[in-house]
Amino acid sequence: LDKEKVSVIFVLGGPGAGKGTQCSLLVEKYNFSHLSAGDLLRAEQDRPDSHFGDLIRTCIREGTIVPMEVTIKLLENAMLAELRSKSGEGWTNGKGRFLIDGFPRKMDQALKFEEDVCLSSLVLFFTTDEETMLKRLLKRGETSGRDDDNIESIKKRFVTYRETTMPVIEHYEKLGKVAEIDSSSPVDQVHTAAVAAVTKVLV
């Protein structure tokens, strides 16, 4: 993967903070490719000849982080496929722009991805309280079919988020790369704030 040909925004925030929702809206407005690490892992888990199906299933249910080699490979492959399919069409300044949603959620992943794949230009950090996230996820769980949208898994996801992912956000804060957005408000208001943050790094 040619680092010169990509620009990456990491999209982080707790479970149910609204990462996926906001990425979809940003894709409608800008020429981003949206890659959700969670969605890629769920697709891999369901692939009949995957070696990692059981491992991914267990991690997702327990709210723990899948070993970074698996996730980074899936992301890299998806980026390459995207670059090939678009082959320059709709790019800005010769670059394919990616929103990488729900990754990196552990320090080792952050360092490895930036070493092997490319640096991120911004971290969009959606934040709201756990009560709000819990309510959203339980509601979504009525129809999502996601194995981790149940109270036991959600509680474990919160713990992993606090203990393992917050240090990643703090790392990028020290580098001045984080745009923190309150995602407690209605979707369209959060979107307006996200657009303002993204506009600053789009040149």
CB neighbours of residue 4 within 10 Å: 9
Question: Which of the ranges 13-21, 43-51, 71-79, 136-144 carries the binding residues for Mg ion, by CB under 5 A?
Answer: 13-21
First to last CA, the chain: 22
Residue number of the CB atom closest to Mg ion: 20
β pairing state of 32-36 and 6-13: unpaired
For residue 164, what are its two tokens? Answer: 């393992």
Q: 41-70: which residues touch ligand UP5 (CB under 6 A)?
A: 41, 59-60, 63-66
Q: Which residues pair with 125 in a beta bridge?
A: 12, 180
Least distance (Å) between residue 36 CB and Mg ion: 5
- Which amino acid type is present at position 111? L
Q: Give 95's DSSP letter.
A: B
Binder to ligand UP5 among 79, 136, 158, 193 (CB under 6 A)?
A: 136
Q: Which segments within the chain are labelled E, that is strand?
A: 6-13, 32-36, 96-101, 120-127, 178-182
Tell me: does residue 43 bind Mg ion (CB under 5 A).
Answer: no
Binder to Mg ion among 2, 6, 11, 20 (CB under 5 A)?
A: 20
Q: Is 19 annotated among the ligand-binding residues?
A: yes
Closest CA to 13 of 108, 122, 130, 102: 102
Q: Is 104 annotated among the ligand-binding residues?
A: yes
Binding site for Mg ion (CB under 5 A): 19-20
Query: Which segments are annotated as binding site for a ribonucleoside 5'-phosphate?
Result: 42, 64-66, 102-105, 109, 146, 157
Binding site for ligand UP5 (CB under 6 A): 13, 15-21, 36-38, 41, 59-60, 63-66, 71, 102-103, 105, 136, 140, 148, 157, 183, 186-187, 190
